[in-house]
Structure 1
Amino acid sequence: MTNTTIETRNLDQYGNAALQWSQARDLLARESASKDVPFFLSTVRPDGRPHSVGIGAVWFEDALYFVSGPGTRKSRNLAANPACTVSVRLSSMDIVLEGDAHRITDESTLDRVATRYRESGWPAEREGAAFTAPYTAPSAGPAPWYVYRISLTTAHAVATVEPGGATRWTFG
């Protein structure tokens, strides 16, 4: 998200200052790869109904990445409509990320993301334009797994520790 303008809107009704995007981004980078951090992806089915599922995700190089088998409902939904949200509860902030998820096929990027996943404890390897590993979350479907990156349009956060706060960031 380098060279991106960020519009900040304070949503807090109790007089707290707006949260800083850098704080949210740093939390995502530090905590996203933990197996104890629950991420939930919401996509849109072809008939317009929502679909939500837990995913394993990593914040890396200023973007959120996740994997999904090509036959899963979420991959089929994203192929038809890339609009999605991802929700996560971090140690001091609940965050909802909104944007479009697109499949990544660039081998250099895939190699770097696989390294990041390995550093977090998941032994991902690039095989062509997808990942393989001895195991993954049941919701990812069978290997090989496509890798997706979310291009953010908006993020919302609520602080879960004092002094509190609620903020919306719009990326342009």
Structure 2
Amino acid sequence: MTEPQATRNLDRSGAAALPWSRARDLLASQTPKEDLTFFVGTVRPGGQPHAAGVGAIWVDDALYFVSGPGTRRARNLAANPACTVSVRLRGLDVTLEGDAHRLTDPETLERVAAVYREGGWPATVVDDEGFTAPFMAASAGPAPWHLYRLTLHRAFGVATAEPHGATRWDFTR
């Protein structure tokens, strides 16, 4: 679902609700070259939270990120796909909530790898396993790195530039 089913103004100072298009357009316009750090929050099997910085990209109205198969993040997502992804964009702090699932579809892997390559990370698809590249974060472990897509349930935006405001967007019915 790419458009919210409901919007709730969270601003207590009288500012209007922020349009989802502001967050969506900022996510879509960022590139891997901008070196933004997205923080993925997952849940450990015992219920404790875990967060880690990742490189993520918005492609075709969805957020994608990569994780090494042996990382705590990947193990957590295999047991429980619920997660959050937070990032500070130009003038807007955004937190996305949803479920992240690993993708193995060769067409999607190649489409996302092409966007990563355009942005300067020379990702190559390895069969239906994920990506390999000459470099990756040391904490990711050995390639291939798995690709995840976030299925968006809700998002929050807090504007740090004019027009200010705070808003929740709900994507599930």
Q: Tell me the TM-score normalised to structure 2 length.
A: 0.95
Quick one: distance in 2 between partners of 1:82 and 1:35?
27
User: Residues 9 and 32 from structure 1, CA distance in 2 versus in 1: closer, same or farther, beyond 3 angstroms?
Assistant: farther
Quick one: distance in 2 between partners of 1:5 and 1:164?
20
* Aligned-residue offset at 1:23: 1.0
* One-letter code aligned to 1:50: P
CA-atom RMSD in angstroms? 1.2
Give a deviation string over 1:114-149, Cα, whole Å, max 9, x none: 001111110001011210000112232221100000
- Equivalence for 1:47: 46
Gaps of at least 5 residues in structure 2 are none
* Aligned-residue offset at 1:43: 0.3
* Aligned-residue offset at 1:32: 4.9
Greater shift in the superposed pair: 26-35 or 44-53: 26-35
- Equivalence for 1:156: 156
- Equivalence for 1:61: 60
Quick one: distance in 1 between partners of 2:69 and 2:37?
22
- Paired positions, count: 171
Verify the 8 A CA contact 1:56 1:137 in the aligned structure 2: no
- Equivalence for 2:19: 20
Quick one: distance in 1 between partners of 2:10 and 2:74?
33
* Aligned-residue offset at 1:163: 2.3
Give a deviation string over 1:56-99, Cα, whole Å, max 9, x none: 00000100000011111100000000000001000110000000
* One-letter code aligned to 2:136: T
Secondary structure of 2:112's partner?
Answer: helix
* One-letter code aligned to 2:50: H
- Equivalence for 1:76: 75
Secondary structure of 1:75's partner?
Answer: helix
Identity of aligned residues (%): 64
Secondary structure of 2:32's partner?
Answer: coil
Quick one: distance in 2 between partners of 1:5 and 1:86?
17
Verify the 8 A CA contact 2:32 2:121 in the aligned structure 1: no
User: Residues 84 and 115 from structure 1, CA distance in 2 versus in 1: closer, same or farther, beyond 3 angstroms?
Assistant: same
Q: Tell me the TM-score normalised to structure 1 length.
A: 0.95
- Equivalence for 1:30: 29
Gaps of at least 5 residues in structure 1 are none
Quick one: distance in 1 between partners of 2:6 and 2:32?
27
Quick one: distance in 2 between partners of 1:18 and 1:5?
13
Verify the 8 A CA contact 2:4 2:169 in the aligned structure 1: no
Q: Say if 2:123 is the partner of 1:124.
A: yes
Task: Give 1:104-123 correspondences, 5 Å limit.
Answer: 104-123=103-122
Quick one: distance in 1 between partners of 2:4 and 2:25?
18
Quick one: distance in 2 between partners of 1:90 and 1:38?
10
- Equivalence for 1:168: 168
Verify the 8 A CA contact 1:29 1:59 in the aligned structure 2: yes
Quick one: distance in 1 between partners of 2:35 and 2:147?
21
